[in-house]
């Protein structure tokens, strides 16, 4: 969602003057020609001063990470301050303070070991196939989602109503291709995953023989799910994920579960139909639930429980999990310190309660007003881009402008804060038991929305999140308080800084409303085709052109980028740059024409510190103004012939 390349090139954490006054040449590598590698030219100095070796808990490191770290320090200060005072049981302050303290208590966690989980594990070990439906429901309510999962979300074709969604399959590896690929690196990861499962089972009291048996069972089940799943690029097509099934159809097609009993046990007996995301995967789930032995099902459900709860058990569990998911898969050298890990518990489970304190303490006065003005200018710029499109018909332009004008804007924090009175945090119980209770609370809260109108005032992120988003079903753009600070945004900064930083983020999120997924939704958030057939074909041709550019990028060895998987972000990256630059051109600062530290204003729209080299370079090669600003000529690596540039919005 977030366009990190929008950060002002001058952005150095904690140095507001540099953000305001322009480019910090020390961050650059002026020995590199911008036409050869703009990523290195613009950020080589910063990268040399901030090598990854200095930040072993990260797999990549940039200014974005620095801002996130500053935010973590703020949260820690808040939690420590709350912890200095005794709070009445049941108050939000008590819940936040005690949850953080419990997550920080390594002595207690290590002393308890696997003990808090053992009662739940014992129930799984006693599982009988005749009790499949109630056993699955119990797991789904509390801690894990064996075979399939449900959740209440917006109906894509009736965005005012909440409906039940059903998805099947589980995966301990990040994607189906991790199971299906047969190259040497993939096989190494597959074996490491099986070894990880063995270690986790043994930490939970299983013998080596039992652990090997369980590991094989889990891997074999997840491999079958992977075979049936769509790849990620295909799964970007919402139409393929929107498959209505009545309760009668579910019972006929997937009879392993008593669906009427299941939904009653889940507290949603009113369910008459669901939206099934991948019928092929659900068919595999049904077959497995029918044919697996009781022992295989016990091992499978136990593995999901153990792996899913490792972060709130002893250090042995956490370190084993990090060895695989952190070191092996992500390339991190060290685990995050305990205080950073502990932040995540109150920050996620009591997110808006924490957010309310955060906003009162850190959100700059005047930020909302400044952001509304910037958004207004970006909206005008995008409207001008739409009106000026040569490939789009007048009717589709009108529909696009109607959608743009209907955008809902959320800035800083919600108008109404969430009520957490129903969630209890009891420090006399284990962290595991408290998280289990919180999981039930959140599950019930979600399922309680079934059949009710969508609350369009609800936020999809907490105010303390350093990010931004566009939601197609509510047609809204949202910018939490935490991102509205330098280097992304400065209420006192000049236009070049703010348009080049948060302006590109705003433009990026707006463009998501018109990317390959967002364009499928109308101004009300309904999945409705408002395009003419001819315009849709022209959009697809331009999008394919952009996807092919990224497909040609060799990331490592013989691995190419996936331009179709990343198409939405690539479209939004390009749109954000173009829209923000044209909006800035309407300001007095641009009209005055004064350069910033010897650079044209084009420079202020790109900061490669916190993103990938190719996301910067490949996107810029489609921006005409970039070539003019830096004098890029044919023959240089950054050059792309005008006929080959993909301009969508």
Q: What is the pLDDT at residue 19?
A: 40
Q: Tell whether the torsion through CA atoms of 417, 418, 421 and 426 is positive or negative.
A: negative
- Which tokens hold the place of 194? 């099986």
Q: What is the pLDDT at residue 23?
A: 64
Q: Region 510-524: what's the mean pLDDT?
A: 97
Q: What is the pLDDT at residue 466?
A: 93
Q: What is the pLDDT at residue 519?
A: 97
The answer, yes or no, to whether residue 503 has pLDDT greater than 60, is yes
Q: Of 50 and 197, which is predicted with more confidence? A: 197
Q: What is the pLDDT at residue 303?
A: 98
Report the distance separating Cα 603 and Cα 597, nearest Å. Answer: 10
Q: What is the pLDDT at residue 606?
A: 27
- Which tokens hold the place of 276? 């099934």
Q: Of 317 and 65, which is predicted with more confidence? A: 317
Q: What's the mean pLDDT when you consider all of the chain? A: 91
Report the distance separating Cα 384 and Cα 582, nearest Å. Answer: 9
Contact present, 354 and 464 (Cβ < 8 Å)? yes
Domains of the chain by start residue, with CATH = 4-71+350-416+457-644 (3.40.390.10), 111-335 (1.10.1380.10)
Q: Work out the percent of the chain whose per-residue pLDDT is above 70.
A: 94
Query: How many residues belong to the chain?
Result: 649
Query: Among 181-190, 228-237, 463-472, 617-626, where is mean pLDDT lowest?
Result: 617-626
Map residue 471 onto helix, strand or coil: strand
Q: Region 44-59: what's the mean pLDDT?
A: 84
- The model's pTM is 0.90
The string of pLDDT tens digits covering residues 391-440 is 999 999 999 999 999 999 999 999 999 999 999 999 999 999 999 999 99
Q: What is the pLDDT at residue 22?
A: 55
Map residue 620 onto helix, strand or coil: helix
Q: What is the pLDDT at residue 612?
A: 62
Report the distance separating Cα 24 and Cα 319, nearest Å. Answer: 40
Contact present, 500 and 6 (Cβ < 8 Å)? yes
The answer, yes or no, to whether residue 214 has pLDDT greater than 90, is yes
The string of pLDDT tens digits covering residues 305-324 is 999 999 999 999 999 999 99
Q: What is the DSSP string of 268-286?
A: -TT--EEEES-HHHHHHHH
The answer, yes or no, to whether residue 481 has pLDDT greater than 60, is yes
Among 468, 454, 482, 547, which residue's Cα sits nearest to residue 512?
468
pLDDT band at 3 (very low <50, low <70, confident <90, very high): very low
Contact present, 584 and 601 (Cβ < 8 Å)? yes
The answer, yes or no, to whether residue 596 has pLDDT greater than 80, is no
Q: What is the pLDDT at residue 599?
A: 63
The answer, yes or no, to whether residue 99 has pLDDT greater than 80, is yes
For residues 512-524, one letter each, b for 16 or more C-beta atoms within 10 angstroms of the residue's C-beta and e for the rest, the string is bbbbbbbbbbbbe
Residue 270, Cβ neighbours under 10 Å: how many? 10
Q: What is the pLDDT at residue 592?
A: 86
Owner of token pair 């696997």: 114
The string of pLDDT tens digits covering residues 139-198 is 999 989 999 999 999 999 999 999 999 999 999 999 999 999 999 999 999 999 999 999
Q: What is the pLDDT at residue 327?
A: 94
Q: Region 497-508: what's the mean pLDDT?
A: 93
Residues forming beta bridges with residue 554, ordered by sequence position: 560
Contacts of 344 (CB under 8 A, 6+ apart): 103
Q: How many Å separate Cα 294 from the centre of its chain?
A: 36
- Which tokens hold the place of 513? 């409303």
The answer, yes or no, to whether residue 10 has pLDDT greater than 80, is no
The answer, yes or no, to whether residue 97 has pLDDT greater than 80, is yes
The string of pLDDT tens digits covering residues 598-617 is 666 553 322 222 246 777 88
């Amino acid at each position: 969602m977030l366009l990190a390349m929008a950060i002002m090139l001058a952005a150095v954490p904690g140095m507001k003057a540099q953000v305001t006054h322009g480019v910090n040449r020390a961050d650059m590598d002026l020995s590199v020609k911008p036409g050869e590698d703009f990523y290195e030219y613009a950020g080589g100095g910063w990268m040399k001063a901030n090598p990854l070796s200095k930040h072993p808990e990260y797999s990549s490191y940039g200014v974005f990470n620095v801002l996130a770290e500053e935010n973590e320090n703020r949260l820690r200060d808040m939690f420590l301050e709350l912890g200095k005072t005794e709070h009445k049981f049941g108050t939000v302050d008590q819940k936040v303070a005690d949850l953080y303290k419990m997550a920080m208590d390594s002595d207690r966690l290590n002393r308890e070991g696997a003990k808090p989980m053992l009662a739940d594990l014992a129930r799984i070990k006693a599982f009988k196939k005749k009790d499949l439906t109630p056993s699955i429901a119990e797991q789904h309510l509390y801690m894990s989602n064996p075979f399939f999962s449900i959740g209440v979300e917006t109906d894509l074709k009736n965005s005012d109503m909440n409906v039940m969604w059903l998805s099947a399959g589980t995966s301990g590896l990040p994607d189906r291709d991790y199971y299906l690929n047969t190259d040497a690196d993939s096989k190494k990861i597959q074996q490491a995953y099986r070894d990880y499962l063995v270690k986790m089972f043994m930490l939970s009291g299983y013998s080596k023989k039992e652990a090997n048996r369980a590991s094989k069972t889990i891997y074999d089940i997840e491999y079958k799910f992977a075979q049936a799943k769509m790849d990620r690029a295909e799964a970007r097509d919402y139409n393929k994920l929107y498959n209505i099934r009545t309760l009668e159809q579910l019972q006929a097609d997937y009879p392993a579960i008593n669906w009427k009993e299941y939904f009653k046990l889940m507290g949603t007996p009113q369910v008459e139909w669901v939206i099934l995301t991948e019928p092929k995967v659900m068919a595999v789930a049904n077959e497995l639930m029918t044919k697996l032995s009781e022992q295989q099902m016990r091992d499978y459900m136990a593995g999901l429980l153990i792996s899913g709860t490792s972060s709130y058990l002893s250090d042995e569990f956490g370190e084993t999990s990090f060895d695989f998911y952190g070191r092996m898969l992500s390339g991190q050298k060290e685990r995050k310190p305990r205080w950073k890990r502990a932040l995540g518990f109150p920050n996620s489970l009591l997110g808006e309660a924490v957010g309310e304190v955060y906003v009162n303490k850190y959100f700059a006065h005047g930020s909302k007003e400044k952001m509304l003005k910037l958004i207004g200018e970006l909206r005008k710029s995008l409207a001008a881009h739409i009106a000026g499109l040569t490939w789009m018909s007048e009717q589709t332009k009108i529909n696009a402008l109607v959608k743009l004008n209907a955008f809902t804007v959320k800035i800083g924090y919600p108008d109404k804060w969430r009520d957490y009175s129903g969630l209890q945090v009891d420090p006399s119980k284990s962290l595991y038991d408290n998280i289990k209770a919180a999981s039930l609370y959140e599950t019930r809260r979600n399922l309680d929305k079934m059949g009710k109108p969508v609350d369009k005032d609800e936020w999809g992120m907490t105010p303390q999140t350093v990010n931004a988003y566009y939601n197609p079903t509510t047609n809204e753009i949202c910018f939490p308080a935490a991102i509205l600070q330098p280097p992304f945004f400065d209420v006192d900064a000049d236009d070049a800084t703010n348009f080049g930083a948060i302006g590109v983020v705003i433009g990026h999120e707006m463009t998501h409303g018109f990317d390959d997924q967002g364009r499928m939704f109308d101004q009300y958030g309904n999945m409705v085709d408002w395009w003419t057939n001819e315009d849709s074909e022209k959009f697809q041709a331009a999008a394919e052109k952009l996807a092919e550019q990224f497909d040609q990028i060799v990331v490592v060895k013989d691995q190419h980028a996936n331009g179709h998987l990343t198409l939405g972000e690539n479209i939004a990256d390009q749109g954000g740059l173009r829209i923000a630059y044209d909006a800035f051109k309407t300001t007095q600062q641009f009209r005055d024409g004064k350069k910033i530290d010897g650079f044209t204003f084009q420079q202020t729209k790109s900061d490669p510190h916190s993103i990938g080299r190719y996301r910067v370079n490949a996107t810029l090669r489609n921006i005409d103004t970039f070539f003019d600003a830096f004098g890029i000529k044919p023959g240089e690596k950054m050059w792309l012939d005008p006929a080959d540039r993909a301009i969508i919005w």
